[in-house]
Structure 1
Amino acid sequence: MSALPARADAVVIGGGVIGTSAAYHLAEAGVDTVLLERGSLGGGASAHTAGMIRTYFPGDPGTGRMAVRSLNAYHDLARHTAAPLALKRLGLMVLFTDEQQIAAFEAGLEAQQAAGVQVGLISAREAWGLNPLIDERAVLAAAWSPEAYHVDGLDIVRGYAAGARRHGARLFTHTPVTHIDDDNTLHTPQGSIKAESIVCTAGPWSGEVASMASLDLPMAPRGIEMLFTDVPQSPHREMPMTMHATSGLRIRSWKDRILLAMGVPKAGESREAWLGRIAGQLGTLFPALEGTGLHHAWAGDFDAGPDNRALIGEHPTRRFLYAAGFTGAGLCQAPAAGEQLRDLLIAK
């Protein structure tokens, strides 16, 4: 590994999908950029997600606007980075089991569409047609958004990293930041580097990075565990990502099994009780999955900001920029977040 340079215009901390997007967009704009990643590129949440890019976020057209902008960028990514993405359209469906959920959807539909989100209300029968595992008697209606795709998050990280390097950015892995001086000198086990601007994209560790710089970034990391079902005796038809508006349960096809998530056990709740809750929801909404075994896929923390919305901005008195708190939706917003960070830094 080459030695750290003595200084850089921008030092990006974190080599996930947000950090590599930031490094790419900064370097493309002519900013002398260094990225520091404490492990391997994409080794955190970027590599351990359900691998979905979507544009519909219930009740949050602002995030939808970011996601629409990002999806357009992904479709054009190969032209800029020579790294085509294998985007596979699956669609996203949100199941409504309460009349108030339908009313809230209809009240917010105009704002969603104004943000460029393609989404509409479909009947329980139409929902069953898209995902035959659904018990249509348990569902009143559903939101359907066709613009949702499976993608390998590591492909995005590798593409942005390669593009950043082609534009002159220097990326250092296994280089954790251990301390930040008041003059924006960052210390690592591999040496120190002075940054004109620091760009914090460290995911769940963004709050810790900010505290090294004596700054407060209101982060609340949220745990999640992904589960696999048993391999069925006969294969399921490929289905869209399907979410339950009430419980937050979401399922999707994953090779020969079903991948699902519903948070983690609540405070004081045993793992067995949590798995029992999930099994109960599965049996109610997807009877064909009743009694299926549930197996650990992976677990970890997502970075979450206030109100579950991402924090993208700059400190008012210090050259410290940040993009964090994406609550597991970093893949959906990474291009737009990188562009925003670039624009903020260049404008300084």
Structure 2
Amino acid sequence: MSGAVHRLSALPPSAAVVVIGGGVMGTSIAYHLARAGVRDVVLVERGELAEGSTSRAAGGVRAQFSDELNIQLGARSLEAFARFGSEPGHEIGLHRVGYLFLLSEPQDVAGFEAGVALQQSLGVPSRMIDPDEAQRLSPLIVTEGLLAAAFSPDDGHCTPEAVVQGYAVGARRHGATVARHCEVLDIETRGEEISAVVTSRGRIATDTVVCAAGAWSRSVGAMVGVELPVEPLRRQIAVTEAIPGLPSSLPMTIDFSSSFYFHAEGPGLLVGMSDPDETPGFSTERHERWLPGLCQAMERRAPGLLDRRTTGGWAGLYEVTPDHNALIGSAVGLSRFLYATGFSGHGFLQGPAVGEVVRDLVLGREPFVDVTPLRADRFAAHDLRPEANCV
């Protein structure tokens, strides 16, 4: 690794904006800023691009949320993913096969009925369907105990690493510097203004910083006395062997009560589920503690998968906030320290839209959607904004 660092080009001594974090959020923000004509945008990433949470995401993209802001961010991002091949110009393996939420509890049915009504009012073509239609869409499931389902055909999944590379290439094309193996050590301030970002590869004079460091954002905020209440939480994913006869239209399928989900991954499936016994921490080592719960969920909802061998998998980190909703905004008491973090499992799918929003906040323009309810200080004011459709 030291040889790779040695060959990296020198950092510019100054920047109009420094973006911290080389995942989907950071690269999207850098791309949108540079494309808007902001000169001297510098993105710094302590490792390789996308090597944090983004590369370990399941890749789902959707607008099916319970929160109006999340619906708008998701829908705007779906539009961007659909044109990604031309802007910024990169193949991302987008499969618009839909999202299918399976509902087995009366309160969940009621919640999704309200959510679908809100989504439809905002132009999202989601709908409630019966168990038989759900099984036709996703033939691996069984319908015993299933009361209803929610489906939107515009949703789907794509390749997270490809999205990051597309944004990074596009950002460079528009003049941004993307600096890998560049760890942020400190952020210098003078009074209520930022003066520089100190990195392992040198000092960058700047008056504007955007924190898009995902699960590591709390420590970045602490450098300037800004509380970003983000906790890392491990989530695991497994990939199965080839499953003959998988329909090409198989949707991302989520058993909502258990959080068990799957979608096609090559000739097999990508399978995941939350672990209720997981405690916050930065470990991404795989363990087998989650497997009994996963098998129990499979037996209940997709028993045919129990006989399928796993061929791989990984663990990654969710960046979780107290209300499972994002932090987007500008710090109070410190000029031009912005943040976009804490997405609690839906950051990848909102990356394109949030890149637009943060670009406009940096430039002093009004974003396409009002994100002030997602400010980080809402917790001090006990103004929580819970998102119910988390998996």
Which bin holds the TM-score, normalised by the shorter protein? over 0.9
**Alpha-carbon deviation of 1:202?**
0.7
Tell me the amino acid that sits aligned with residue 50 of structure 1: A
Choose which of 109, 130, 133 in structure 1 pairs with 2:137: 130
Structure-1 residue corresponding to 2:323? 307
**Alpha-carbon deviation of 1:145?**
1.0
Q: Give the 5 Å matches for 1:192-341.
A: 192-232=203-243, 234-238=244-248, 239-264=250-275, 266=277, 274-294=290-310, 297-318=313-334, 319-341=336-358
So what's the TM-score if we normalise by structure 2? 0.83
Instruction: Tell me how far apart the structure 2 counterparts of residues 18 and 52 of structure 1 sit (CA, whole Å).
Output: 15
RMSD of aligned C-alpha atoms?
2.1
SS at match of 1:204: helix
Please, which runs of 5 or more residues in structure 2 have no aligned partner? 1-7, 280-286, 366-391
Structure-1 residue corresponding to 2:372? none
CA contact (8 A) 1:22 1:337 kept: yes
Instruction: Tell me how far apart the structure 2 counterparts of residues 259 and 160 of structure 1 sit (CA, whole Å).
Output: 25
Name the count of aligned residue pairs: 345
Range moving further from structure 2, 72-81 or 22-31: 72-81
Choose which of 40, 43, 55 in structure 2 pairs with 1:47: 55
Instruction: Tell me how far apart the structure 1 counterparts of residues 87 and 19 of structure 2 sit (CA, whole Å).
Output: 20
Q: Which has the higher contact order (CA 8 A, sep 6+)?
A: 1
Structure-2 residue corresponding to 1:342? 359
Tell me the amino acid that sits aligned with residue 343 of structure 2: F
**Alpha-carbon deviation of 1:116?**
2.7
**Alpha-carbon deviation of 1:220?**
1.9
Alignment of 1:68 with 2:78, yes or no, is no
**Alpha-carbon deviation of 1:122?**
0.7
SS at match of 1:165: helix
Range moving further from structure 2, 157-166 or 289-298: 289-298
Alignment of 1:21 with 2:21, yes or no, is no
CA contact (8 A) 1:65 1:116 kept: no
CA contact (8 A) 1:22 1:342 kept: yes
Instruction: Tell me how far apart the structure 1 counterparts of residues 84 and 260 of structure 2 sit (CA, whole Å).
Output: 31
Tell me the amino acid that sits aligned with residue 314 of structure 2: W
So what's the TM-score if we normalise by structure 1? 0.93
CA contact (8 A) 1:250 1:261 kept: yes
> Cα deviations across residues 111-167 of structure 1 (Å, max 9, x unaligned)?
122233221111111011011111122311110111122211122111111211121
CA contact (8 A) 1:283 1:291 kept: no
Instruction: Tell me how far apart the structure 2 counterparts of residues 50 and 254 of structure 1 sit (CA, whole Å).
Output: 10
Instruction: Tell me how far apart the structure 2 counterparts of residues 272 and 203 of structure 1 sit (CA, whole Å).
Output: 25
Q: Percent identity?
A: 39
Tell me the amino acid that sits aligned with residue 224 of structure 1: R
Q: Give the 5 Å matches for 1:118-157.
A: 118-157=125-164
> Cα deviations across residues 44-84 of structure 1 (Å, max 9, x unaligned)?
12212112211112x23321210101111222333332324
**Structure-2 change in CA distance of 1:77 and 1:31 (3 Å):** same
CA contact (8 A) 2:251 2:263 kept: yes
Range moving further from structure 2, 107-116 or 289-298: 289-298
Instruction: Tell me how far apart the structure 2 counterparts of residues 166 and 40 of structure 1 sit (CA, whole Å).
Output: 19
Instruction: Tell me how far apart the structure 2 counterparts of residues 266 and 60 of structure 1 sit (CA, whole Å).
Output: 26
Instruction: Tell me how far apart the structure 1 counterparts of residues 276 and 321 of structure 2 sit (CA, whole Å).
Output: 20
> Cα deviations across residues 175-200 of structure 1 (Å, max 9, x unaligned)?
01011122432111211111210011
Instruction: Tell me how far apart the structure 2 counterparts of residues 28 and 56 of structure 1 sit (CA, whole Å).
Output: 29
Please, which runs of 5 or more residues in structure 1 have no aligned partner? none
CA contact (8 A) 1:202 1:209 kept: yes
CA contact (8 A) 2:78 2:155 kept: no
> Cα deviations across residues 88-110 of structure 1 (Å, max 9, x unaligned)?
22211000112222122223332
CA contact (8 A) 1:121 1:144 kept: yes
CA contact (8 A) 1:28 1:167 kept: yes
Tell me the amino acid that sits aligned with residue 303 of structure 1: E
Instruction: Tell me how far apart the structure 2 counterparts of residues 49 and 330 of structure 1 sit (CA, whole Å).
Output: 9
Range moving further from structure 2, 321-330 or 291-300: 291-300
CA contact (8 A) 1:249 1:261 kept: yes
Choose which of 162, 165, 168 in structure 1 pairs with 2:175: 168
**Alpha-carbon deviation of 1:287?**
2.2
SS at match of 2:206: strand
**Alpha-carbon deviation of 1:15?**
0.9
**Alpha-carbon deviation of 1:321?**
0.3
